[in-house]
Amino acid sequence: MISRARRLPKRPNHCSRRRRLYPVRSVESLEERKVLTSIIGLGTLPGGNFSGATGINDIGQIVGYSDTTDAPTVYPGQDDTHAFFESNGTLYDLGILDEGRDIPGQSYAYAVNDSGSVVGFTDVWLGDDLGSAVQAFACIGNAEGNPGNMFDLGTFPGLYPGRTSSAMAINDVGIIAGYSELAYPDDQFSHAYVVDPSDFDELGTSEFVDLGTLGGYSSGAEGINQAG
């Protein structure tokens, strides 16, 4: 009688697979994740119903916009929207450059650097002939690291300069980037610019450096690094 060797049963497939190891998160990392994902309400300016944050610096100071009824240019039932600067839990109203007129006004802050300088856009009054326009503003940070008074950055110069501009970014050196309408007859187009407020003359004006386009008609700048 021929004896056959017993064939051992095959090992189940799940036993032959290499077990995958997963990293175990530490308690500290879980706690850090909770802190990073916490949402902290900033509130509004006095009398406001809505607000939005648009920029933050490395110190934790925040800028944005909020409606407010605590302004001199309010029609009954209408609120102004003002740029704000937040530091240590307090919102500061940066106002507008069109104050003193009995119409609602608007300003929006878009960026803040580590010196507390803020940029954005605001309503401005160009006179009875030209009326109101929207133009870029800057509030240069003071020695305490808070923004100073708002001033108009203007637009590209010309015999009939553009009416609309906005400042979108500022680096820690203080160089500002944004976009502006061109002067007439090209005022239907806007170009990206950079400007250094330290170059402002005694009249408070400075030349925008036109960054041009990539062969098109319009362009805009929304960010700037520390090298400018």
The pLDDT tens digits for 24-70 are 444 455 555 555 567 788 888 888 888 999 999 999 999 999 988 76
Task: Please say if the pLDDT value at position 196 is more than 80.
Answer: yes
Query: Between 84 and 19, whose confidence is greater?
Result: 84
Binned at pLDDT 50, 70 and 90, residue 208 comes out as confident
CA 42 to chain CA centroid, nearest Å: 16
Percent of the chain whose predicted confidence (pLDDT) is above 90: 41
Three-state secondary structure readout of the chain: CCCCCCCCCCCCHHHHCCCCCCCCCCHHHHHHHHHHCCCCCCCCCCCCCCEEEEEECCCCCEEEEEEECCCCCCCCCCCEEEEEEEECCEEEEEECECCCCCCCCEEEEEEECCCCCEEEEEEEECCCCCCEEEEEEEEEECCCCCEEEEEEEECCCCCCCCCCEEEEEECCCCCEEEEEECCCCCCCCEEEEEECHHHCCCCCCCCCEEEECCCCCCCCCCCCCCCC
pLDDT in tens, 3-18: 444 444 444 454 444 4
Return the amino acid letter for 3. S
Task: Please say if the pLDDT value at position 93 is more than 50.
Answer: yes
Looking at residue 146, its pLDDT comes to 83
CA dihedral (191, 120, 114, 85) in degrees, to 10, reads -170
* C-alpha–C-alpha distance, residues 71 and 99, integer Å: 9
Looking at residue 15, its pLDDT comes to 44
Binned at pLDDT 50, 70 and 90, residue 103 comes out as low
Binned at pLDDT 50, 70 and 90, residue 163 comes out as confident
User: If you average pLDDT over residues 195-223, what whole number do you get?
Assistant: 80
Tokens 């605001």 found at: 122
User: If you average pLDDT over residues 202-214, what whole number do you get?
Assistant: 75
Average pLDDT, the chain: 79
Shortest CA distance to 199 belongs to which of 178, 180, 179, 173? Answer: 173
Looking at residue 73, its pLDDT comes to 47
